[in-house]
């Protein structure tokens, strides 16, 4: 009967240890997956920033060419004064609008990546908490072992 009690207690302790190890493995896997996702999102954010920078640079070069053409056209036609000033201010407004649109698209992409990162964090936190809830504390494990031992003792007495 004591042997049955010992077997029940040992079995319970081993089951608790295995369950806790499994839960810890799940938590570590979640942390690793989350880290990989964050690295991927950081790379995408960097690429997005670089794309916006390249677009702005190309737009600056294009604008400089257009402005040079416009100025040379005005110079050859002997146009000056208000119409030239109007054309220049219109050109500057269009350039600013185009640049603003480019930056806005880049910011939108960064916002989306931020939302993805937040969703991944919430998913990871939920998974870690769920795995943590499967773990048993030392006290819970000891109480389970005592209960299993008592059941084993009881079964051993009935034989």
Q: According to the 3-state scheme, what is the secondary structure of 45-67?
A: HHHHHHHHHHHHHHHHHHHHHHH
The percent of residues above 70 in pLDDT, for the chain, comes to 70
Q: Encode pLDDT of 112-126 as tens digits.
A: 999 999 999 999 999
Say whether pLDDT at 158 is over 70. no
Identify the pLDDT of residue 66.
Answer: 85
* Whole-number pLDDT of residue 10: 66
Name the average pLDDT for the chain: 80
CA distances from 111 to 41, 44, 118 (A): 11, 12, 10
Its pTM surpasses 0.85: no
The stretch 62-85 carries a mean pLDDT of 73
Span 6-27, average pLDDT: 74
Look up residue 157 and give its two tokens: 């007495």
12: left (phi over 0), alpha (psi -120 to 50) or beta: alpha
Distance CA 118, CA 124 (A): 10
Q: Is 78 left (phi over 0), alpha (psi -120 to 50) or beta?
A: left
Pick from 48, 71, 61: nearest CA to 95: 61
């Amino acid at each position: 009967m004591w042997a049955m009690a010992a077997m029940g207690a040992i079995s319970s302790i081993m089951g608790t240890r295995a369950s806790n190890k499994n839960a810890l493995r799940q938590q570590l896997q979640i942390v690793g997956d989350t880290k990989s996702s964050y690295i991927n999102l950081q790379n995408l954010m960097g690429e997005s920033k670089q794309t916006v920078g390249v677009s702005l640079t190309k737009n600056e070069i294009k604008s400089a060419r257009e402005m040079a053409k416009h100025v040379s056209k005005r110079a050859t036609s002997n146009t000056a004064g208000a119409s030239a000033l109007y054309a220049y201010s219109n050109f500057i407004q269009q350039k600013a609008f185009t640049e603003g649109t480019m930056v806005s698209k880049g910011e939108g992409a960064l916002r989306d990546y931020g939302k993805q990162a937040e969703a991944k964090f919430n998913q990871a936190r939920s998974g870690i908490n769920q795995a943590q809830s499967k773990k048993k504390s030392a006290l819970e494990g000891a109480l389970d072992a005592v209960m299993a031992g008592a059941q084993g003792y009881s079964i051993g007495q009935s034989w």
